[in-house]
């Protein structure tokens, strides 16, 4: 290529511009050696361009930039994973992003392009993993690379990004958070919380007995009651508890603003996050300001209550009081505040959603309910309440299978929380660049028809092998993968198991009837967002017998 007697060429043939010796160990990058050739064949480095006469410098420099851009576009020898064709050179797949229920769209893409999908929105790359095996291979086995979180500008503006463990970038602060969870929520320690769980579940049963029409309020209260007692020694009020309200409100604000979306804020956060709230189109700033206020109230108010008790010499028996006694710096205090808030907000929301899914399933599949109750009647009877000892004795296998199916049928976090890569990588012949967002499609894993025939049907029997024994599928994938797996999963599973078992032991869950005696239909749908919930339902909850009523009241000395 000649311009006024000056030639510009790559240092190597373009077919060989990416060589094994030039590639970096983990990426697809190349050290390019561009130089200019004078008319007599002598080489001229790019630095020599600055010494060219003015009439040569501009055209040659322009050609260098154009050639360098072209060369850089060619250095990625391996392709990205397949996915929908980009509809724009600039915005990529912006117009392809699903408006709702993204997990279903990803399943549809997977049927066409394969289990590993790629799409781009502006300069941001996303890879979706639809299969269990690929999630394990990347997020578990290569956790050193894939334990970061992508930057989510709206979550940052709402105040969650820097103190909430689930969204925090991977690094020293996150590891300090994780140490608290490891200390207080590992399996052997979680056993110590069973008396608290039992008491709060008994309160839940009493609520269903006395005000069954408010069953949704009761399971929301239970969702917060266990973790609030463990973290802050706060005894949640049966109704209208302020801390439960804060958790519900914060979760509601967060769940609709977590996923990357087709917004300029997502595409260009460094620019649009600084718009004033009054600016046209900056309504997101006004929303974020209100959400930030709720988030920090949720973080600060419960912990301040514990501090007041400690100053008064009434140190409560809870996680935050234990850690506060050893805090030596503001950094340690901030770590505690963030970790405690994470446990409180995440535990309350996900437990409540799981129990809502349980009630929906029992109304839609009454035969499953009757089979579970028959097992309970034969193994435990109605003279005492089911306890965690019944779980340990494995005397209720169908109840265990039913709990697994509740978790599988509708996952509380169908896309989990996205991971991010911290360096270039390759997988199955595909290129994964640094700072790529990786999405675990938990919904696709749990609804894989090859593993779960008729996946949209609620069927606990799928967890038994041919000999009638429980199989080894404990659906643990619903809690995430790698170093970002949910640290409170053992506590959560225990609460869900005992709540479901005792409800089925003592209550019949049936469709409600209208004024003309006709059963009110039960919708099968669910909401969209980070955390899903079944659509609102009505039902009739009645004690199965006088004995059931009495054993519940006996726990409160009221029988």
User: DSSP alpha helices (H): ranges in 53-148?
Assistant: 54-74, 102-113, 132-135
Q: Which two tokens stand for residue 305?
A: 């209550």
- Asked whether the CA dihedral 49, 55, 60, 62 is positive or negative, the reply is positive
* Phi and psi, residue 511, nearest 5°: -70, 140
Q: Which helix (H) or strand (E) holds 358?
A: helix 330-364
Instruction: Provide CB contacts within 8 A for 162, sequence distance 6+.
Output: 156, 168, 338
Q: Is 486 annotated as belonging to a binding site?
A: yes
Closest CA to 148 of 476, 467, 454, 425: 425
From CA 470, how far away is CA 451, in angstroms rounded? 15
Closest CA to 383 of 259, 545, 144: 545
From CA 117, how far away is CA 456, in angstroms rounded? 23
* Phi and psi, residue 429, nearest 5°: 80, 10
Q: Do residues 106 and 82 touch, judged by C-beta distance below 8 A? A: no
Closest CA to 344 of 308, 411, 306, 298: 298
| CB-count exposure of residue 278 (10 Å: 0-12, 13-18, 19+) | exposed
Beta partners for residue 116, in sequence order: 129
| CB-count exposure of residue 282 (10 Å: 0-12, 13-18, 19+) | middle
Half-sphere CA count of 471, side-chain side, radius 13 A = 14
Enumerate the known binding-site residues for heme.
Answer: 486
Enumerate the known binding-site residues.
Answer: 486
């Amino acid at each position: 290529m000649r311009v006024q007697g000056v030639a510009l060429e790559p240092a190597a043939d373009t077919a060989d511009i990416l060589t094994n010796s030039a590639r970096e160990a983990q990426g697809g990058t190349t050290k390019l050696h561009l130089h200019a050739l004078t008319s007599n064949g002598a080489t001229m480095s790019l630095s020599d361009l600055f010494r060219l006469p003015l009439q040569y410098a501009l055209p040659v420099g322009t050609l260098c930039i154009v050639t360098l851009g072209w060369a850089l576009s060619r250095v990625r020898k391996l392709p990205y994973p397949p996915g929908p064709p980009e509809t724009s050179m600039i915005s990529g797949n912006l117009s392809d992003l699903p408006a709702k229920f993204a997990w279903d769209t990803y399943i549809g893409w997977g049927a066409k392009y394969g289990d590993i999908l790629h799409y781009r929105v502006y300069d941001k790359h996303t890879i979706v993993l639809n299969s269990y095996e690929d999630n394990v291979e990347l997020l578990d086995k290569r956790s050193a690379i894939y334990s970061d979180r992508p930057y989510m500008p709206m979550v940052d503006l709402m105040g969650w990004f820097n103190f909430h463990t689930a969204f925090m970038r991977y690094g020293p602060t996150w590891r300090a958070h994780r140490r608290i969870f490891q200390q207080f929520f590992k399996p052997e320690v979680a056993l110590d919380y069973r008396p608290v769980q039992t008491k709060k579940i008994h309160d839940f049963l009493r609520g269903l007995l006395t005000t069954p029409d408010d069953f949704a309020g009761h399971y929301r209260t239970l969702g917060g009651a266990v973790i609030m007692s463990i973290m802050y020694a706060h005894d949640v009020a049966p109704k209208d508890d302020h801390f439960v309200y804060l958790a519900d409100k914060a979760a509601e604000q967060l769940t609709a603003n977590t996923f990357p979306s087709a917004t300029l804020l997502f595409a260009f956060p460094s620019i649009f996050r600084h718009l004033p709230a009054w600016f046209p189109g900056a309504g997101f700033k006004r929303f974020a300001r209100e959400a930030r206020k709720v988030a920090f109230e949720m973080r600060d108010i419960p912990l301040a209550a514990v501090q007041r008790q400690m100053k008064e010499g009434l140190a409560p028996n809870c996680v935050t009081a234990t850690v506060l006694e050893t805090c030596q710096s503001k950094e340690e205090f901030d770590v505690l505040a963030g970790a405690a808030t994470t446990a409180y907000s995440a535990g309350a929301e996900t437990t409540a959603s799981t129990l809502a899914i349980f009630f929906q399933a029992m109304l839609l599949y009454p035969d499953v309910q009757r089979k579970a109750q028959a097992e309970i009647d034969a193994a435990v009877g109605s003279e005492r309440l089911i306890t965690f000892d019944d779980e340990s004795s494995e005397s209720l296998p169908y109840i265990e299978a039913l709990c697994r199916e509740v978790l599988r049928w509708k996952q509380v976090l169908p896309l989990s929380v996205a991971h991010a890569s911290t360096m270039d990588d390759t997988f199955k012949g595909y290129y994964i660049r640094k700072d790529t967002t990786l999405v675990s499609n938990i919904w696709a894993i749990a609804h894989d028809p090859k593993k779960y025939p008729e996946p949209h049907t609620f069927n606990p029997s799928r967890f038994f092998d041919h000999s009638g024994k429980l199989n080894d599928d404990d659906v643990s994938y619903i809690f995430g993968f790698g170093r970002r797996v949910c640290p409170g999963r053992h506590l959560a599973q225990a609460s869900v198991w005992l709540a479901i078992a005792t409800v089925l032991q003592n209550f019949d869950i049936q469709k409600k009837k209208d004024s003309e005696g006709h059963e009110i239909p039960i919708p099968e749908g669910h909401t969209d967002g980070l955390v899903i919930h079944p659509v609102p339902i009505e039902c009739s909850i009645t004690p199965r017998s006088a004995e059931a009523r009495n054993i519940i009241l006996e726990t409160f000395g009221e029988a």
